[in-house]
């Protein structure tokens, strides 16, 4: 079994590549919920939705979020009623939010609601929220303390960032199955997601980082930083705000206490050679996923690098 920690558009693309070469039943996806928000009174979980839509072949490839071919009539109508419209929820997407909110109102946990939605959409991989507890990524800027979606979507991540925190994390617990998925996996992968706001909230839930540290499973991360810059989004700004270098070395430092192998882009080969001197295994390969074929190629390269471990190779060959 392969367990993937993920969030964001890069994470969804990577998981899309993985599912083409690994049976979905062999994948457990632990997803960031630090971006979750209440929108028009509905509980929205952007990263859970993107992963679920992708696994169900419903994700909009043009936008990287939401449902393919969606319409936005409700958004227009809500705007006419004077409601905020900066979070562009489509009509079919809203159906998911309504159904999730109904399940939660009926007493279901977020894990149970996620499983119900995935099952109804025909998803065969196991999708787990990082926690059933509310953990909210907060970004401190000169204009105030913003939720991640306010910072990222409403304000287009243009504000200088002073710090990032995960409100509620210290009191949260891993969702059922998360720790077991890490401990029992043949391989744990960290997708090329923003280390601070896509993977960081997952690691902030007590017990998850400890499980990664204590696990005998090989842990492999794919760097979202290429040539000293983020491939997309505000990862560079957020890493710098948290005191990490905007480089593959900074990514390695963020995961240092549990990381066995870092996968970096080929153009970072000179920096990779320096990083190897610290004792960390580093694998260079093209990591930018512009086309569908790039996703599969990256997933194959990551698994091939991981399979240099005999125990991982045996487990994956059985899959």
Distances (CA, A) of 223 to 6, 154, 232, 269, 303: 12, 26, 12, 13, 15
Query: Which pLDDT belongs to residue 310?
Result: 53
| Residue 57: both structure tokens together | 């072949």
| Interval 20-58: pLDDT, tens | 999 999 999 999 999 999 999 999 999 999 999 999 999
| Cα–Cα distance measured from residue 271 to residue 249, given in angstroms and rounded to the nearest whole number | 8
| Interval 89-130: pLDDT, tens | 999 999 999 999 999 999 999 999 999 999 999 999 999 999
| Interval 158-217: pLDDT, tens | 999 999 999 999 999 999 999 999 999 999 999 999 999 999 999 999 999 999 999 888
pTM score, whole prediction: 0.94
Query: Which pLDDT belongs to residue 242?
Result: 94
| Interval 125-148: pLDDT, tens | 999 999 999 999 999 999 999 999
């Amino acid at each position: 079994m392969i367990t993937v920690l993920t969030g964001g558009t890069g994470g969804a693309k990577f998981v899309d590549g993985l599912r083409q070469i690994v049976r979905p039943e062999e994948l457990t996806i632990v997803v960031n919920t630090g971006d979750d928000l209440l929108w028009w009174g509905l509980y929205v979980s952007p990263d859970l939705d993107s992963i679920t839509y992708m696994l169900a072949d419903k994700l909009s490839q043009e936008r990287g979020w939401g449902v393919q071919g969606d319409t936005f009539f409700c958004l227009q109508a809500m705007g006419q009623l004077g409601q905020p419209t900066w979070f562009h929820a489509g009509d079919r997407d809203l159906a998911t939010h309504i159904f999730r909110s109904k399940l939660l109102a009926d007493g279901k946990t977020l894990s149970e609601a996620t499983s119900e939605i995935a099952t109804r959409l025909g998803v065969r991989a196991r999708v787990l929220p990082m926690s059933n507890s509310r953990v909210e990524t907060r970004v401190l800027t000169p204009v105030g303390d913003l939720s991640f979606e306010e910072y990222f979507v409403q304000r287009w991540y243009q504000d200088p960032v002073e710090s990032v925190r995960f409100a509620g994390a210290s009191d949260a617990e891993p969702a059922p199955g998360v720790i077991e998925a890490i401990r029992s996996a043949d391989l744990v992968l960290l997708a090329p997601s923003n280390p601070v706001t896509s993977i960081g909230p997952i690691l902030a839930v007590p017990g998850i980082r400890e499980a990664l540290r204590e696990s005998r499973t090989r842990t492999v991360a794919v760097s979202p930083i290429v040539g000293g810059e983020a491939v997309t989004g505000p990862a560079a700004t957020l890493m710098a705000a948290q005191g990490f270098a905007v480089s593959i070395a900074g990514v390695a430092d963020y995961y240092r206490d549990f990381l066995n192998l870092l996968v970096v882009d080929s153009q970072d080969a000179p920096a990779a050679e320096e990083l190897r001197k610290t004792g960390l295994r580093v694998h260079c390969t093209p990591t930018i996923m512009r086309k569908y074929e790039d996703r599969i190629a990256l997933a194959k390269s990551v698994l091939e690098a991981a399979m240099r471990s005999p125990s991982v190779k045996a487990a994956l060959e059985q899959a």
